[in-house]
Chains A and B, each alone.
Chain A
Amino acid sequence: DAKTTQPNSMESNEEEPVHLPCNHSTISGTDYIHWYRQLPSQGPEYVIHGLTSNVNNRMASLAIAEDRKSSTLILHRATLRDAAVYYCILRDRAAGNKLTFGGGTRVLVKP
C-alpha cells in the first residue's frame, strides 16, 4: 500500500474548524483516500473517503488536490467529542479492502 504522511498532532479550539493535512505523493490511480478516526479506548470509526472529487458528509469534508498527491480532512466545527487520532489511509481497490494504518494525527480540542 502507498504510504501517507501526517503531522503527529494538532490542536484546535472548540467550535473552530480543523484542517488535517495528508501527503500521499506515491498514490496510484486505483487508490482511494480513506479517513478513519479512533477515539480513546475505542475501535476506529469511518469518517469519509474519496477518489478524485471533493466529498462532503455529515461528519466532515474531504478536499483532494488536483494531482491527488495530497488531501485535507476538514472538521467544520470541532467539538470535544472530535478529540481522537485521525488516520489517512490509501486503499488500493484492486488489492482487496485491508487498511494499512500509519501513525495518524492526534487532534486535541480545547474548550
Chain B
Amino acid sequence: GAGVSQSPSNKVTEKGKDVELRCDPISGHTALYWYRQSLGQGLEFLIYFQGNSAPDKSGLPSDRFSAERTGGSVSTLTIQRTQQEDSAVYLCASSLSQNNEQFFGPGTRLTVL
C-alpha cells in the first residue's frame, strides 16, 4: 500500500517568507510526527499528533513554527518568516498508534536563501 508522502519534495524560499510543508500519513494511522534533519546532523523531534491534537510540541524551535492536523489525516507544518538556519530536511512519520513503529516519508528539503 501507499506509504507516507510529503510535498513538496524540494522548496527554495527567500529569507522572511512563510512556507507550508504537507504530510499525508498512511491511511488509518492515528499518530503523526514531524522531525527535521539539518545538514550532517541527526534527526530532531519537532511535534507529535495523536488524532488532531498535539500532546507534545516540545521540539518546535520557536513560535515561528506551527503545525496542524485535520480530519485525523493530513498535517501541515508552517514556518513563518523563514531564516537561513531553518534550512533542513523536514521528515514526517506516522504510526498505527502511539506505541507502534514509525513509518517515515521521503522528506521535504527546505533551502532558505
Question: Which chain A residues have a beta carbon within 8 Å of chain B's beta carbons?
Answer: 34, 36, 42-46, 49, 87, 93, 96-104
Contact = CB atoms under 8 A, between A and B. Distances in A.
B56 interface: yes
A105 to B, nearest CB: 12
B56 A44 contact: no
Contacts of A93: 99
B48 to A, nearest CB: 5
A18 to B, nearest CB: 21
A43 B33 contact: no
B-side interface mostly? strand
A93 B97 CA distance: 12
A43 B42 contact: no
Given A87-B42, A97-B48, 6 more contacts: A34-B101, A43-B91, A93-B99, A97-B98, A97-B100, A101-B44
B106 A42 contact: yes
Contacts of A97: 31, 33, 48, 95, 98-100, 102
Nearest to B50: A96
A49 B95 CA distance: 15
B43 A98 contact: no
Nearest to A43: B104
